[in-house]
Structure 1
Amino acid sequence: MPDRPARHTLVWLSAHADWRADVPTHDSRLAAWFACGWPAVVARHAADDPDPRIRLGVPLPPAEGKQRLALRVPLHDIVRQAPPLALSHVAVHAGVPADWQVPIQALERLAPAHVFGAFAWQVLTGLDYVHARSDIDVLWSVQTADAADALVAKLQVWERRFDRRLDGELCLPEGGAVNWREYAGCAREVLVKRVDGAGLEARASLFDGVGLPRMAWHYDHVTKVAM
């Protein structure tokens, strides 16, 4: 298991995990969440944060105010990890609203991708996260500037065709990620998010480390999600 899992990694905690909510009043809700066997998601860890524990988030559904409950846990209390759900998995899941199935299938044909946000949590938990105005949040791995440019152009066409909002990130070869919509703009600098923080970086240098290993989600056991 790596020292610090990548952002968006899904993690399951041991039954006796020594987790601590950032807001103590959230303890009971988090305890009930984990009692259902549901995961949390790895959040960004500030580079200057002295706390060595892993930062996690649990996003509640709209019926509970869409709160994002934050907590921290020692790395050794994480018993399983898995990458974000594959878009191909979400596309065929019974929990996806009927009017989203064609748009998601069309999106899947553009490029391999992973899903986070409302659609992912609806599949993972069976709770109602997706509503008529929901966006879909997607992650794409891109290895070169040309590939990123081509993908962004296709995503813009997808939005116009289906009249739906598409959010998400382009995952860069060396592990950073940039919002695809921001990348599609003309700014010389873009905000790049990493597991240990975020900062503005020159757009022209995003793919300078193309020879480095591509971003990957590491895990010991991939949990199968019930269909």
Structure 2
Amino acid sequence: MMFYRHNRVWLSANGWRAACEKLPAAHVKELMRWAENGWPAIVRRNDADARPDMLYLGLAPPPEPGTGTKIRIPFSAGTADIVRHEAPLALMGAESALPSVWRCAFSALAAAASSKGLEFRVYGSVALQAITGLPYLATSSDIDILFYPCTHAQLQEGMALLQLYAKQLPLDGEIVFPSGRAVAWKEWAQALENPGRLRVLAKGMSSLSLVPATDLLAELEQS
């Protein structure tokens, strides 16, 4: 099985139990809530001492009321305890979680991406609220989009859509290239506007590094 950052995974009961045994007691209650509700954990970057039979995951409870403090709980599970895994949430699956002021523009973005055959998905607070029904979103929240181009033409079309709808929505997120390496789409836009800045910060499952933009472009089909 191949896993990438932001993928959703569902664990067996044994997987949740094993994860709880390795965590501080303060986090166990939250993991058990996830397990009892059948919510997925999210794939994160591998730890430095990653083992091939382990998957490195995380979950994020809603921000604490009053303070807005965000807690992130990293943990791991054996790959044998993964009972199901899926890509991040499709745009249409997130619309119900959005405040009404964002829905019209978001629906238009989803329709435009679909009409062009572009794969856009959502992660972060919007996805978590849609998946769990818990209160994640605030007026300062972003809509984190993952864009998966396969060709140079798709990359150009998708970037144009993101820049257009960012005028109406608080869009953020990443371009995910075929290798799984990802670049913040806003950084990619800035790099292409500045010919002298041709290296971008690429996030992979095991690394975080500055790479030439041409290396990522080479992963895409020419059509």
TM superposition score normalised by structure 1: 0.82
Three-state SS of the structure 1 residue aligned to 2:217 is coil
CA distance in 2 between partners of 1:19 and 1:96 (Å):
31
More displaced 10-residue stretch of structure 1: 138-147 or 164-173: 138-147
Q: CA deviation at 1:24?
A: 4.8
Give the aligned partner of residue 60 of structure 1. Answer: 61
Give the aligned partner of residue 7 of structure 1. Answer: 5
Give the aligned partner of residue 221 of structure 1. Answer: none
* Change over 3 Å in CA distance of 1:10–1:50 after alignment to 2: closer
- Deviations, residues 22-65 of structure 1 (Å, cap 9, x unaligned): 5453123212222221111000114x424442110101111363
Three-state SS of the structure 1 residue aligned to 2:201 is strand
Matches within 5 A, 1:1-227: 2=1, 4-17=2-15, 18-20=18-20, 21=22, 23-46=24-47, 48-52=48-52, 53-63=54-64, 65-91=69-95, 93=96, 95-111=97-113, 112-160=119-167, 162=168, 164-186=169-191, 187-210=197-220
Letter paired with 1:76: A
CA distance in 2 between partners of 1:154 and 1:177 (Å):
18
- Deviations, residues 183-207 of structure 1 (Å, cap 9, x unaligned): 0012211111112222111012212
Give the aligned partner of residue 222 of structure 1. Answer: none
CA distance in 1 between partners of 2:25 and 2:207 (Å):
25
Q: CA deviation at 1:150?
A: 3.5
TM superposition score normalised by structure 2: 0.83
Letter paired with 2:124: G
Moved beyond 4 Å, runs of 4+ = 20-24
Q: Which stretches in structure 1 are left out of the alignment for 5+ residues?
A: 212-227
Structure with the bigger RCO (C-alpha within 8 Å, sep 6+) is 1
* Change over 3 Å in CA distance of 1:51–1:25 after alignment to 2: farther
> Aligned-residue CA RMSD in angstroms?
2.0
CA distance in 2 between partners of 1:176 and 1:40 (Å):
20
- 1:23 touches 1:70 (CA, 8 Å); kept in 2? no
Aligned length: 204
